[in-house]
Amino acid sequence: MNASDTPKVDSFDKISFIGCGKMAEAMIAPLIETGFQSAKDIAIYDVSKNAMDRFKEQYEDIQLCESIPDCVDGADLIVAAIKPQNCCKVFQEIRRAAEMPNITLRSNDAILLSIIAGKPMQEFLDGTPISKMARSMPNTPAQIGKGMTVWTCTPNIELKERDQIKHVLSCMGKSIFVDDESFIDMSTSISGSGPAYIFMLMEAMIDAGVHMGFSRNTATTLVHQTILGSTLYAMETGLHPAILRNSVTSPAGTTASAMYELENGKFRTVIKDAIWACYRRSLEMGGQDSNVGPGRITYNQPPAPMTVHYQGAFPPGLSREDMIRSGLSREDIIRSVIPAPSGEVTDEERNAANEKKKEK
């Protein structure tokens, strides 16, 4: 399909940005520079006036707002680009906007787009009168148009509107839509926080090069180009990483020696454990159960306290390792597997039982 045959995506009437940080800048710049959204149809609000002034210097026609209600007035796309801890305050201001007679909050057709880590869509739906919600997880390379954004939305967002959202997010790089919100938290641990893992690897490789005798500039260039070239090579060939790694590793060679040390240091396990830890934290930030992943055991606790009658070291079927991994005490686990008696034993019942024993 030729570029001229690509269906045109309509711009929004007004896009409001609550928060003017780096990710907001990564979205606003390409939206204006590609001509998808005119600067005069973008409104911004931030608690820092200096942050807003910086945008005004670059885009003269952009709207600077003195409050959140002023910012969302008449907007059909509201982008929440704030810190997770500031959500409650923003929700309060959006609710206040809905009650102000001089403000038009398009609660029926406006879309609220979140780029906030760890906050599920339900929190926005419960906290604001807006019924159309989209949640995304971009990453920092979006600031140079090379980002990876995973996103989802509520079912009431129409196909045309989804195309508009996709276009906005694709301005930062590549975007992938998922129909299950749980994948957003998962993607946070891979693509969202992933650049930090790569940067730490780069830092370690550069420091090793300096330790060997390279200048820091030379070591940095070597590492940058190696990671960039390897990534492009993997994308271009489409081969499994194991095949590519084996193609570099000669028997008893230098790379094989390096691979031995990485495997001996549990390099793979450390990386996977870091990703799982990131995923769990994302779930915790959204108030969800984070007891997931390898080595995690979930025990359903009874609704009411239960009497303990088991006298062994551990409940049947459970080892000491199981108890340690679960994070629960021995008593907690016992309560979950040992039923309490249905009632007290009276003196008469006890005497009757003793008489039966004597008869036997």
pLDDT digits (tens, 9 = 90+) for 9-60: 888 999 999 999 989 999 999 999 888 999 999 999 999 999 999 999 999 9
| Highest-scoring range by mean pLDDT, 74-88, 193-207, 276-290, 315-329 | 193-207
Report whether 172 contacts 142 (CB < 8 A).
Answer: yes
| The pLDDT of residue 116 is above 70 | yes
What pLDDT is attached to residue 340? Answer: 39
**Residue 1 burial class via C-beta count within 10 angstroms: exposed 0-12, middle 13-18, buried 19 and up:** exposed
More confident residue, 185 or 353: 185
Token pair in block for residue 31: 């939206």
What pLDDT is attached to residue 234? Answer: 96
Q: Count other C-beta atoms under 10 Å from residue 277's C-beta.
A: 14
Give the containing element (helix H, strand E) for 116: none
Q: What mean pLDDT is predicted for residues 118-123?
A: 92
pLDDT digits (tens, 9 = 90+) for 129-144: 999 999 999 999 998 9
What pLDDT is attached to residue 106? Answer: 84
pLDDT digits (tens, 9 = 90+) for 269-296: 999 999 999 999 999 988 888 888 887 7
Report whether 334 contacts 315 (CB < 8 A).
Answer: yes
What pLDDT is attached to residue 217? Answer: 98
DSSP 159-215: HHHHHHHHHHHHTTEEEEE-SSTHHHHHHIIIIISHHHHHHHHHHHHHHHHHHHT--
What pLDDT is attached to residue 305? Answer: 47
Alpha helices in the chain (DSSP H): 22-33, 49-58, 68-72, 87-99, 121-127, 159-170, 182-187, 194-212, 216-237, 241-248, 254-264, 267-285, 320-326, 330-337, 347-359
Q: Would you place residue 303 in the very low, low, confident or very high pLDDT band (cuts 50, 70, 90)? A: very low
Average pLDDT, the chain: 85
Cα 5 to Cα 295: distance, rounded to the nearest angstrom? 52
Strands 42-45 and 111-114: unpaired
Q: Give, in degrees to the nearest 5, the angle at Cα 17 between 119 and 28.
A: 110
Q: Would you place residue 337 in the very low, low, confident or very high pLDDT band (cuts 50, 70, 90)? A: very low
| The pLDDT of residue 336 is above 80 | no
Q: Which of 244-253, 298-307, 319-328 has the lowest mean pLDDT?
A: 298-307
Q: What mean pLDDT is predicted for residues 89-100?
A: 93
What pLDDT is attached to residue 244? Answer: 95
Cα 41 to Cα 354: distance, rounded to the nearest angstrom? 89
Q: Count other C-beta atoms under 10 Å from residue 170's C-beta.
A: 17
Tokens 């038009």 locate to: 104
